[in-house]
Amino acid sequence: MKRRDVLKNISLLPLAGGLAGTLVPAAKTVAAPIAKRDVFTELGLRTFINAAGTYTSMTASLMPDEVMEAINQASKEYVMLDEVQDKAGAKIAELCHAEAAMVTAGCWSAIVLGTAGVITGADPKKVGLLPNLEGTALKSEVIIQKSHSVGYDHAVTNTGAKLVIVETAEEAERAINDKTAMTWFLNKEVASGKIKHEEWLQISKKHNIPAMIDMAADVPPVENLWKYNDMGFDLVCISGGKAMCGPQSTGLLMGKKDLIAAARLNGPPGGGNIGRGMKVNKEEIIGMYVALDSYIKRDHAKEWKMWEGKIATINNAVKSITAVKTEIVIPPVANHTPSLEIRWDNSKIKLTKEEMGLKLRNGYPSIETVSWEKDNSIRVTVFMLKPGQEKVVASRIKEELLAASV
């Protein structure tokens, strides 16, 4: 949107508000019209076009009206929190081919509560012991591949569990002992690890050890919502506020009935556990359920085509500049959507990647792009854009490239 259009809209708001509720008032008796409260202006917050993706630091995704309506409706009545988890969990489990499911405070919390549940089972006394596993008879080791240990495994160790790092199938087998509680697999690192899903599951099942998978950002494709449940993982963790556009503070923990029940003992509404602070109320639980249901029902092929169209709009605008080269990149797992890498010849366009990122951020309207990894290039994604924003992104990037051309 152009600045003058914004100003035009702003100047229209009070007028519309003033006319709505009154019958032909004499001009001089009309109270100053009350403009609709704008929390962004009130707080002095920068809003921006999200051409980066579902980054937690950027508040990740926007909830569709359908989800907000469910949240609003949920906020108007009291219900028992456990009953909301029971009922929404049952629907979610059915949608995703799992025995049971619960809504958690993000994928991270799904990992913490799921791991805790594996360690404590249904015993409330054991629940109270976490995270102080030392000196107890509780199983305390979680097996993980070296290349899967990239930070998210801290959610596992939040429970007090220790990681046992392995690289080969032989090492994994040898690492299993009386203290082994669980095996943990990070889906997005499947290519970097020596052991793939099936073999990992085989080893886990052979020794009767529950296997958990973190697939936080791994829809699309939508089938991944049930793929790992079908494959036999005992616990599956995913973010609700990434591509599914549920509340940003939600995630799903899906899996075996007894393990989900145990995970729930480690979180609210009960206290005296490590998960009491990972609260999701009825609004988030119901909002997540509706977001999931709506995501599954979406026309995914049509959505993909729309993304390709938006990428083409940006691509066509910038590739007409001779010093610019572009490439469409689709990550195989995690944020599996088309993105566009835009590279420029630094002898013809005098701009570093940092300068470009800052010009887009500080320009009008503000635009965020993907972290600037390679020299003389930026990357944009389109799956978090609102309708029409691709045109703004295209023209702003082109504008900056031309302005820096020598």
Ligand X SMILES: *Cc1c(COP(=O)(O)O)cnc(C)c1O
Site residues (vs ligand X, CB under 6 A): 56, 106-108, 152, 188, 214, 216-217, 239, 251
**Closest distance between ligand X and the C-beta of residue 343, in Å?**
26
- Listed in sequence order, the residues at least 6 apart from 116 whose beta carbon sits closer than 8 Å to its beta carbon are 127, 130, 159, 262, 263, 266, 273, 274, 275
Using CB positions, name the residue nearest to ligand X: 106
Helix (H, G, I), strand (E, B) or coil at 145: strand
Helix axes 257-265, 107-120, angle to 10 degrees: 100
Q: Over the Cα atoms of the chain, what is R_g?
A: 25
**Closest distance between ligand X and the C-beta of residue 22, in Å?**
47
Structural tokens at position 138: 């509780």
In whole angstroms, give the CA distance from residue 335 to residue 295.
15
β-strands 377-381, 251-255 pairing: unpaired
Give the nearer residue to ligand X in terms of CB position, either 154 or 386.
Answer: 154
**Closest distance between ligand X and the C-beta of residue 54, in Å?**
8
Give the nearer residue to ligand X in terms of CB position, either 284 or 400.
Answer: 284
**Closest distance between ligand X and the C-beta of residue 250, in Å?**
7
Give the nearer residue to ligand X in terms of CB position, either 331 or 365.
Answer: 331
β-strands 211-214, 180-186 pairing: parallel
- Listed in sequence order, the residues at least 6 apart from 390 whose beta carbon sits closer than 8 Å to its beta carbon are 310, 313, 314, 382
Give the nearer residue to ligand X in terms of CB position, either 153 or 400.
Answer: 153
Give the nearer residue to ligand X in terms of CB position, either 55 or 391.
Answer: 55
**Closest distance between ligand X and the C-beta of residue 105, in Å?**
7
Give the nearer residue to ligand X in terms of CB position, either 216 or 384.
Answer: 216
**Closest distance between ligand X and the C-beta of residue 145, in Å?**
14
List, in sequence order, every residue forming a beta bridge with 369; answer none if it has no partner.
Answer: 51
